[in-house]
């Protein structure tokens, strides 16, 4: 079994059960402007950086805002205004983070969400000390599926990409991690996808974070 020196986590749909919440916020915004949010448009944005997806939304729903930045701002404001109870961890996330932190394994978040959203979610869930390095794709040239955010996180961790393990839930995120030269464990968020959807791009597919943690506890994953 290959051993790793660091682990890099996606956030939305992997650690945080937020994809349905993002969807709800997008539906509310789009329908408030008289449109119907199609499944095809939604699928385009899963795992994508918010500003890049906002440009797609503007193309399909031009009344949402005069610029992609205005649409991004509207979505972000709605997300930050949600009741704290709406932001919940996915099953196994807290136990996995505590296991990794307890063993001092270098770790980071590499997310398509803005830094404001990352910080908001992490602090609501009490994870700030468990995963102190948190990086947003808003600060790199290209969002997922480009590898930029994973390369940035690896550099900040001081770990070669080939020695990093990435955990992802989306297709774009999986492609980004693989393009960075990392091994990726994909744990699909079944609110919008299925395990079989990744068979063509990744051999490491898990049904839950509990399954990933069980593999870690069995030993041999980290140097």
Give dist(CA 181, CA 208) in Å, integer: 23
125: how many CB neighbours lie within 10 A of its CB?
18
Q: Which two tokens stand for residue 68?
A: 């992609």
Beta carbons within 8 Å of 111's beta carbon, 6+ residues apart:
10, 11, 12, 117, 118, 134, 135, 136, 137, 149
Superfamily of domain 6-17+86-218: HAD superfamily/HAD-like (3.40.50.1000)
| pLDDT band (50, 70, 90) for residue 192 | confident
> What's the average model confidence in pLDDT over 207-222?
94
pLDDT of residue 41: 94
| pLDDT band (50, 70, 90) for residue 100 | very high
63 pLDDT higher than 80: yes
> What's the average model confidence in pLDDT over 61-76?
94
> What's the average model confidence in pLDDT over 125-137?
97
Beta strands, E only, the chain = 6-9, 107-111, 134-136, 164-168, 183-186
- The Cα-based distances of 57 to 31, 108, 119 in angstroms read 12, 29, 25
pLDDT tens digits for range 141-161: 999 999 999 999 999 999 999
pLDDT of residue 97: 98
Minimum mean pLDDT among 45-49, 90-94, 100-104, 215-219: which range?
A: 45-49
pLDDT of residue 190: 86
Cβ burial of 129 (10 Å; 0-12, 13-18, 19+) is exposed
Domain boundaries, the chain: 6-17+86-218, 19-84
| pLDDT band (50, 70, 90) for residue 223 | confident
pLDDT of residue 218: 93
188 pLDDT higher than 90: yes
Sheet holding 6-9, edge to edge: 134-136, 107-111, 6-9, 164-168, 183-186
> What's the average model confidence in pLDDT over 152-179?
97
pLDDT tens digits for range 7-21: 999 999 999 999 899
88 pLDDT higher than 90: yes
């Amino acid at each position: 079994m290959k051993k790793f020196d660091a682990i890099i986590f996606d956030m939305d749909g992997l650690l945080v059960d937020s994809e349905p919440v993002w969807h709800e916020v997008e539906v509310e915004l789009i329908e408030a402007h008289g449109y119907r949010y199609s499944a095809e448009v939604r699928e385009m944005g899963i795992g994508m950086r918010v500003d890049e997806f906002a440009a797609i939304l503007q193309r399909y729903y031009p009344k949402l805002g005069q610029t992609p930045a205005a649409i991004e701002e509207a979505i972000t404001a709605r997300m930050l205004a949600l009741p704290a109870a709406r932001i919940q961890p996915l099953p196994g996330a807290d136990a996995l983070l505590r296991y990794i932190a307890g063993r001092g394994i270098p770790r980071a978040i590499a997310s398509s969400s803005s830094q404001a959203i990352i910080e908001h979610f992490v602090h609501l869930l009490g994870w700030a000390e468990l995963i102190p390095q948190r990086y947003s794709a808003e600060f790199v040239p290209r969002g997922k599926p480009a590898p930029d955010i994973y390369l940035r996180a690896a550099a900040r961790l001081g770990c070669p990409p080939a020695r990093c393990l990435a955990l992802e839930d989306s297709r774009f995120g999986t492609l980004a991690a693989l393009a960075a030269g990392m091994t990726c464990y994909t744990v699909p968020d079944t609110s919008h996808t299925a395990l079989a959807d990744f068979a063509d791009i990744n051999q490491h597919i898990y049904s839950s974070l509990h399954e990933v943690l069980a593999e870690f506890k069995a030993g041999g994953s980290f140097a």
